[in-house]
Amino acid sequence: MPAPTLPIRERLTEVRYEIRGELARRARELEAQGHSLIKLNIGNPGAFGFRAPEHMQRAIADRIQDTDPYAHQQGLPAAREAIAGHHAAIGTPGASADNVFIGNGVSELIDISLRALLNPGDEVLLPSPDYPLWSAATILNDGRPVYYRCHAGNGFLPDPDEIEALVSPRTRAIVLINPNNPTGASYPRELLERIVAIARRHGLLLMADEIYDGITYDGARFEPLAPLAGDVPCLSFGGLSKVHRACGWRIGWAMLSGDEGATRDYRHAIDLLGALRLCANVPGQFAVPAALSGLDTIGPLVAPGGRLHEARRIVAEACAASPHLELQVPDGALYAFPGVVGPAAQGFDDHDFALELMETEHVLVVPGSSFNVPYRNHFRVTLLPEPEQLREVFRRIDRVLQRRADAATAAEAAPLAQAAVA
């Protein structure tokens, strides 16, 4: 007699993470069969030949003998002091090492910070599209995601009036992802100030995912939220994974700012949850001071002629030249979020397209609906491959879309041809 199936948590049925989901599993099967795939599903710099800067590697190597013990649950003092100093330099009010929490990547801190905040049924205002970990962490901590729309026609920027209209008695926080993943939108100061005012009026926590803070293009400016928030409670997330290309080191941080009386209990809750998991990865923490005080190694990559800038340029040119694609050119981050238009968009399903693209052209992308949007005509690619490889990727994408456009045109023409014969 077979053993009974183990039950799983019911709320997992509400969680999606296609970035590493069904399509990624099929990609591994194809690779096992000997196929070579171009995988654009994950913003993982090390997989595309980028390396963490040498001065950061040395900082870990020089202290490797000190990495065996557990650290304090909030992180190594020197690392927290460096993060607090960075925040003080950009104007975060009351920046203090006591209010810094280091985690195993920003992902862990998102989960901890929502667990410390939410009671069952509490609501979190999230952008649509969002980075799906935010939705998943809200759901798995018994909260309810409520989405404010970021339309392509508005540069993927939100409407503050819509955000405020969504506030209810159960709303606890507003999440901002800036620069944005997946769209690359960079939020202007005036917009952020209006969102801060909403949080102040309704007593909400601001949660600013700023992991791409150093990655902007062509004069786009990153505006940190905490200096604008002032005494409004604000949790700002950063880390080593993207700007410093050290994803595998799993070092992220969160800085809690705002009125100390309002944040005291929340700070203790985050500290308690951090203590329950003992501590974050210790070796990587020794690289934090070097990262924040050392050479600027991301600037040359995003400047004109730099590898990331060139990748973005080629993607923008490919979309502009395609009759099947439109693109709001990203101002920041490591992604583009093209939309499919014209005949190719008729009956378009982003998941089916991604599967066909992988099976026939050996390119892996992420369906746009994975980012919690109601439409299904977008997909996300990362800008991390060599620029010329991205040019080839979009040739393959256009081949698939042209086949779909031809099929749609033929389907429209068939009834007319039959009527003419009749």
The verdict on 33 and 172 lying in the same domain is no
194-213: b or e for each residue (b if 16 or more CB lie within 10 Å)? Answer: ebbebbeeeebbbbbbbbbb
Q: What is the pLDDT of residue 356?
A: 95
The verdict on 98 and 206 lying in the same domain is yes
Rounded Cα–Cα distance for residues 126 and 180 (Å) = 12
Q: How many domains does the chain have?
A: 2
The verdict on 131 and 17 lying in the same domain is no
Could you tell me which of 91, 57, 370 has the C-alpha nearest to residue 230? 91
Torsion, Cα of 24, 28, 34, 35 (10° steps): 0
In a domain, 419, yes or no: no
Q: What is the pLDDT of residue 351?
A: 94
The backbone region for 265, taken as left when phi is positive above 0, alpha when psi lies in -120 to 50, beta otherwise, is alpha
| Domain carrying residue 266 | 54-293
pTM: 0.93
Which stretches of 15-76 are DSSP H helices? Answer: 22-32, 54-62
In a domain, 5, yes or no: no
Which of 240, 261, 293 corresponds to the end of one domain? Answer: 293
Which of 266, 293, 320 corresponds to the end of one domain? Answer: 293
The contacts of residue 161 (CB under 8 Å, 6+ apart) are none
How far is it between the farthest Cα atoms of the chain?
86
Q: What is the pLDDT of residue 146?
A: 98
Q: What is the pLDDT of residue 13?
A: 81
In a domain, 38, yes or no: yes
User: What Å distances lie between residue 316 and 191, 310, 326, 383, CA to CA?
Assistant: 25, 10, 9, 11
Mean pLDDT by 10 residues, the chain (422 residues): 81 78 88 93 93 96 96 97 97 96 97 97 97 96 97 95 98 98 97 98 98 97 97 98 96 97 96 96 97 95 98 98 97 98 94 95 95 95 96 97 91 61 56
Decide if 354 contacts 379 (C-beta within 8 A).
yes
The verdict on 98 and 228 lying in the same domain is yes
